[in-house]
Amino acid sequence: MTKPKITLETAAKLDQKDVLHNFKKEFYTDDNRFYMDGNSLGLLSKRAEQSLLSSLEDWKTHAIGGWTDGKEPWFYMSEKFGAKTAPLLGAKPEEVISTGSITSNLHQLLSTFYRPEGQRTKILADELNFPSDIYALKSQLELHGMDPDEHLIQVKSDNGATLSEEDIIKEMRSDIALLLLPSVLYRSGQLLDIEKITKAAHEQGIMVGFDLAHSIGALPHNLDDWGVDFAVWCTYKYLNSGPGGVGGLYVNEKHLGSKPGLAGWFSSKKDKQFDMAHDLNHAETAGAYQMGTPHILSSAPLLGSLDLFQEADIKNVRCKSLQMTRLMLDLVYQELDGLGFQIITPLEDERRGGHISLVHSEAASICKALKKENVVPDFRAPDVIRLAPVALYTTYKEVYEVMMILKEIMVNETYKKYKNERDIIA
């Protein structure tokens, strides 16, 4: 049976049924721009702006008193954000803290939980992960006197875009101490089976961590039920906290009470921190894995953003996200056939994150041509175009129009006006 042709009317009908439609009004959007890069940097919401201004007002009004007397006391802000983030993770409030950056948090948890002993000295990762995670793993190995060439095992991809869970499990041996993987692969948008991988790793006695940068805020998680040991993420993508916004970390309750590998001022129990003792009395919650003083002004926007997620419900966000990426994929087949594109994102809903990735030999040129037409995509060298319709502020009509603009660029060959090379920032 032939599928009915997708039209602008098709997209409009989807918008009429969209339970999240009104959330677009919460964001600063541009009617003349199609923003498809929310998986790199989410848009500013009016509530995030207001929560930032509130912290500025606390600073202006209370000065140092803002730590305890402000509208949102800074001293307890990280814990409050952790509690508000926990439902997105399937976690308990005490297991989650907002702090640092994704890489500093990864260093903290590797320093805490990577404990090479006997023959169990190696770390298992993959060859498709974001570079900064691999940098962190290699530097941690070197700090332990290990040669990364020998002790970092990276699971190979058979197609350069996705990973096989079976291939990952095959690499789980008795010499592996710790496993770190992304939940969603940044290049292809593949969603890994976290539960299956974690179960297999634990059967081999392996500590399990995940980088949730491309899944948090786009789909639900059940970290407690899955038994994940630890996780890290950034908040400036789907959580819309702003450029350089505070990161976050999760530590399963079975590990709470473990001494942080990298101790710092805010690792302390709240009621003991100002005893000023030189022996750390660390928190018994995820707060123990904080280090320095929270960056209040890069944290504050998250409060308003998380309020939106509480109202929207992450299940609704996931449902719309999948529908939008499905629409986009269907339009690739309908409108872009024969124009040189290859879809590298898994087609199955259960294996797809929040964005789709198209490979094309002229990808850099195409992205530049899209920007000229007020479409903001994301380019990943050497040949990947990433498009991320975000459930809280993208409409189905916008998805349709973006794909029509892409078709026009290809049919008219306007992309050939631009050099097929990336800019400084891609």
Type and span of the H or E element at 15: helix 8-17
Query: What pLDDT does 106 receive?
Result: 98
**Please, which pLDDT band fits residue 130 given cuts at 50, 70 and 90?**
very high
SS3 276: coil
> Hey, is 376 helix, strand or coil?
strand
Q: What are φ and ψ of residue 124, in 5° steps?
A: -105, 125
In this prediction, what percent of the chain has a pLDDT beyond 90? 98
Instruction: Say how many Å lie between the first and final Cα of the chain, rounded.
Output: 41
Helix (H) or strand (E) holding 154: strand 152-155
pLDDT single digits (tens) 378-416: 999 999 999 999 999 999 999 999 999 999 999 999 999
The neighbouring-strand residues paired with 191 are: 184
Rounded average pLDDT over 323-336: 98
pLDDT in tens, 339-350: 999 999 999 999
**CA dist., res. 245 & res. 100, Å (int):** 9
The confidence score (pLDDT) of residue 235 equals 98
CA nearest to 72, candidates 304, 310, 309, 308: 304
* pLDDT value, residue 426: 73
Asked if residue 382 has a cis previous peptide bond (ω within 30° of 0), the answer is yes
Residue 422 — pLDDT band, cuts 50, 70, 90?
Answer: confident
**Hey, is 156 helix, strand or coil?**
coil
Tell me the whole-structure pTM to 2 decimals.
0.97
- Average pLDDT, stretch 298-327? 98
Residue 1 has pLDDT above 80, yes or no: no
Asked if the model's pLDDT at residue 2 lies above 80, the reply is no
- The pLDDT tens digits for 173-204 are 999 999 999 999 999 999 999 999 999 999 99
Q: Could you tell me which residues are annotated as the binding site?
A: 102-103, 130-133, 211, 214, 236, 265, 293
**Token digits of residue 59:** 């600073």
Cα separation, 415 vs 362, in Å, equals 8
Place of tokens 């407690």: 224
Mean pLDDT of 85-109: 98
- Which of 84, 355, 91 shows the shortest CA–CA distance to 235? 84
- The residue among 340, 400, 406 whose CA lies nearest residue 369 is 406
The CB density around residue 204, as the number of other CB atoms within 10 Å, is 14
Feature table: binding site for pyridoxal 5'-phosphate: 102-103, 130-133, 211, 214, 236, 265, 293
The Cα 60–Cα 55 span in angstroms is: 9
Put the strands of the sheet holding 248-251 in their side by side order: 96-98, 248-251, 230-233, 207-211, 176-182, 122-126, 152-155
Task: Identify the structural domains of the chain with CATH numbers, from first to last.
Answer: 8-32+313-417 (3.90.1150.10), 50-311 (3.40.640.10)
- d(Cα 24, Cα 329) in Å, to the nearest integer? 23
Q: How far is CA 403 from the centre of its chain?
A: 24
The answer, yes or no, to whether residue 15 has pLDDT greater than 90, is yes
| Whole-number pLDDT of residue 370 | 98
Question: What mean pLDDT do residues 326-349 have?
Answer: 98
By C-alpha distance, which of 135, 163, 92, 88 is closest to 317?
88
**Residue of 117, 121, 47 lying closest to 84 (CA atoms):** 47
Rounded Cα–Cα distance for residues 170 and 35 (Å): 40
